[in-house]
């Protein structure tokens, strides 16, 4: 199951429809094709001060980048291990 990533502007507009325009969460959910759970999470996140929220987003982006780098480096290490074992076997 892959998670759909929505732009921050989309999330902000969806939250505005609920908090400022008075639309029901269920209606916005059905109209936008977003789960009610996601909308409630976005509403909760909007209550966090902007500076703190931006720090959280940047930390999340950094964590995602580091995980991708770790995966790549681990794959490189595994390839090098196999190559070392292969050449050791050839010369021995």
pLDDT in tens, 22-63: 999 999 999 999 999 999 999 998 887 777 777 888 899 999
Q: What domain count does the chain have?
A: 2
**Are 17 and 58 in a shared domain?**
no
Judge contact between 25 and 40, C-beta under 8 A.
Answer: yes
**Are 60 and 82 in a shared domain?**
yes
Sequence length of the chain is 92
**Are 18 and 56 in a shared domain?**
no
d(C-alpha 3, C-alpha 1), whole Å: 7
What pLDDT score was predicted for residue 2? 53
What is the token pair recorded at 72? Answer: 């790549």
**Are 24 and 54 in a shared domain?**
no
For the entire predicted model, the pTM comes to 0.51
Share of the chain above pLDDT 70, in %: 97
d(C-alpha 87, C-alpha 5), whole Å: 45
**Are 27 and 5 in a shared domain?**
yes
**Are 42 and 66 in a shared domain?**
no
d(C-alpha 19, C-alpha 22), whole Å: 6
Please report, for residues 12, 31, 43, 56, 92, the alpha-carbon distance to residue 20 in angstroms, rounded to integers and kept in the order given: 11, 17, 11, 24, 74
Range of the domain at 12: 1-47
């Amino acid at each position: 199951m892959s998670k759909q990533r929505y732009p921050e502007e989309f999330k902000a507009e969806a939250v505005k429809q609920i908090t400022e325009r008075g639309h029901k969460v269920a209606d916005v959910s059905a109209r936008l094709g977003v789960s009610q759970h996601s909308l409630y999470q976005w509403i909760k996140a909007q209550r966090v001060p902007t500076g703190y929220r931006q720090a959280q987003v940047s930390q999340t982006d950094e964590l995602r980048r580091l995980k991708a780098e770790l995966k790549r480096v681990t794959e490189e290490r595994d390839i090098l291990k196999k190559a070392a074992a292969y050449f050791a076997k050839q010369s021995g």
